[in-house]
Amino acid sequence: MSAPRIEVLASAREVAGRAADRISAFLASPAPVLGLATGRTPLAVYTALRDRVATGQLSLAHAICFNLDEYSGLPGGHPASFESYMRRELFGPIGLPDDRWHLPDGDGGPAEARSFEAAIVAAGGIGLQLLGIGRNGHIGFNEPGAAHDSRTRQVRLTEQTRQTNAQDFPANTVVPEYAVTMGIGTILEAREILLMATGTAKAEALAAALQGPVSEAVPASALQRHSRVTVLCDFAAAQLLSCQVASCDPKTALLGLVPSVE
């Protein structure tokens, strides 16, 4: 186990650019299996990836993609579903065929969850998993209390998460109470994890995840158990971390942090 590498960048834009660079490098590996996330944080990453594909600098043609989660109970094609999000933001514009990307079935039961996990294994396992973090420290839709060895399954969303995510739904629509998410155990099997956090609203969750105790109360704290996690954050999200600057690149305004010695 080695502590997550924390990189602090000057802005959310730089965070997205750095994530897009790492994903692009990963996509150059043979048969890349990429884990993807939804939410607002990765939107700029997908813009960057789309631009790189459009200008011929990047191809996802040989990649297989797996998403973290999907809401339960949304009609097919609902604009707030994560499938619609991924079609809109990445898979549609780059023309990735439907058989190369997978989302958990939001309305599936244990058998569908097992076949989603089996598809990950059959693809060779996730090589690089992109993650955001919820204000309560959730990863995917693993809310506080989720077991660190949990697998893909249906979960109940907290009121806080439903309220936050209401901004992605048309006005007067009820945000689903349930979703299907990769488990924390599933996420931890990815060979490398890239966690992105931007903005003040994520500062508390990020500090608890990286420097608090490893606890089911903070799902993202499970990442402390993984040996290859890189955290990309902006100054706002990094403000509650107690760290020392280990390196500084004046060209990219990038600070490499290590935990401060008490």
- Using CB under 6 A, which of 14, 69, 70, 143 touches ligand GLP? 69
To 5 degrees, how large is the angle CA 149–CA 152–CA 170? 125
Site string for ligand GLP, 153-192 (x = CB under 6 A): --------x---x---------------------------
Contact 215, 221 (CB under 8 A): yes
Q: Which of residues 202-261 bind ligand GLP (CB under 6 A)?
A: none
Provide CB contacts within 8 A for 49, sequence distance 6+: 20, 23, 24, 58, 60, 90, 94
Q: Is 138 a catalytic residue?
A: yes
Helices (H), 87-193: 92-94, 110-123, 159-165, 184-188
Q: Which of 27, 33, 36, 37 binds ligand GLP (CB under 6 A)?
A: 37
**CA of 262: how far to CAs of 157, 243, 244, 248, 259, in Å?**
36, 10, 11, 22, 9
Which residue number, 39 or 108, has a Cβ lying nearer to ligand GLP?
Answer: 39
Minimum separation from the CB atom of position 176 to ligand GLP (A): 11
The catalytically annotated residue of 7, 105, 138, 234 is 138
Containing H/E element for 128? strand 128-131
Establish if 41 lies at the interface with ligand GLP (CB under 6 A).
yes
What is the Cα 188 distance to its own chain's centre?
12
Minimum distance of ligand GLP from residue 106's CB (angstroms): 12
Other Cβ atoms within 10 Å of 255 Cβ, number:
19
- Give the count of residues interacting with ligand GLP (CB under 6 A): 14
Residue 39 makes contact with ligand GLP by CB under 6 A: yes
Residues 143 and 220: beta-carbon distance below 8 Å: no
Residue 105 annotated to the active site: no
Q: Does 87 bind ligand GLP (CB under 6 A)?
A: no
> Site map for ligand GLP, 119-148, x if CB under 6 A?
-------------xxx-----xx-------
Smallest distance, Å, CB 18 to ligand GLP? 16
- Are the C-beta atoms of residues 188 and 151 closer than 8 Å to each other? no
Q: What are the φ and ψ backbone dihedral angles of 77, each rounded to 5 degrees?
A: 80, 5
Q: Does 143 qualify as catalytic in the annotation? A: yes
Binding region for ligand GLP (CB under 6 A) out of 36-44, 50-58, 90-98, 241-249? 36-44
Give the amino acid at 175. Answer: V
Q: Which two tokens stand for residue 13?
A: 């834009």
51 assigned to active site? no
SS3 81: coil
Q: Which is nearer to ligand GLP, 24 or 160 (CB)?
A: 160
Nearest-approach distance from CB 49 to ligand GLP, in angstroms: 16
Catalytic residue among 14, 69, 105, 234: 69
Q: Which residues are known catalytic residues?
A: 69, 136, 138, 143
Residue ranges in contact with ligand GLP by CB under 6 A: 37-41, 68-69, 132-134, 140-141, 161, 165
